[in-house]
Amino acid sequence: MSTSEELYDRARALMPGGVNSPVRAFGSVGGIPRFLVDAHGARVTDADGKTYVDLVGSWGPALLGHSHPAVIEAVHRAVDHGLTFGASTPAEADLAELVKERVPAVELLRMVSTGTEATMTAVRLARGFTGRSLIVKFAGCYHGHVDSLLAAAGSGVATLALPGSAGVTEATTAETLVLPYNDTAAVEEAFREQGDRIAAVITEAAPANMGVVTPGEGFNAFLSRITTEHGALFIVDEVMTGFRTHPGGYWKLTGGAPDAAEPWTPDLLTFGKVIGGGIPAAALGGRADVMNHLAPIGPVYQAGTLSGNPLAMAAGVATLTAATDEVYRHVDARSLELSTALSEELNRAGVDHSIQRAGNLFSVAFGTSERGVSSYADAQAQEAFRYGPFFHSMLDSGVYLPPSVFEAWFLSAAHDDAAMEEIFAALPAAAKAAAAAQPA
Active site residue 250: no
**Contact (CB, 8 A) for 401 and 56:** yes
Q: Provide the CA 109 distance to its chain's centre, in angstroms.
A: 19
**Given 52, 142, 328, 400, the catalytic residue:** 142
Alpha-carbon distance of 409 to 432, in angstroms, equals 20
Alpha-carbon distance of 210 to 153, in angstroms, equals 8
Which residue, 213, 197, 47, 46, is CA-closest to 130? 197
Active site residue 273: yes
Active site residue 237: yes
**Given 237, 252, 378, 387, the catalytic residue:** 237
**Given 137, 252, 273, 432, the catalytic residue:** 273
CA angle 383, 388, 389 (to 5 degrees): 100
Residues labelled as active-site residues = 142, 237, 273
